[in-house]
Amino acid sequence: MFVGLISGSSCAIGQIIKGLKHGKLATRLIDWDVASDWETPLSEVREKLGILPLID
């Protein structure tokens, strides 16, 4: 994220703030047992982990 800002990439500060807020709400992925959710649809895994889409 910060590399993009430094390199001059165009990104809205609002999107960065929204991404940081969403990141705070999500479950730590290091604690997630991937094997238990291997066959689970991605939408259900996202809901379980509290991962919200950046695009509403």
4-12: average pLDDT: 61
**Which pLDDT does position 52 carry in this prediction?**
76
**Which pLDDT does position 49 carry in this prediction?**
84
Per-residue pLDDT tens digits for 13-47: 777 788 788 778 777 777 788 899 999 999 899 88
**Which pLDDT does position 40 carry in this prediction?**
93
**Which pLDDT does position 11 carry in this prediction?**
65
Q: Cα(50)–Cα(26) distance, rounded to whole angstroms?
A: 5
**Which pLDDT does position 10 carry in this prediction?**
61
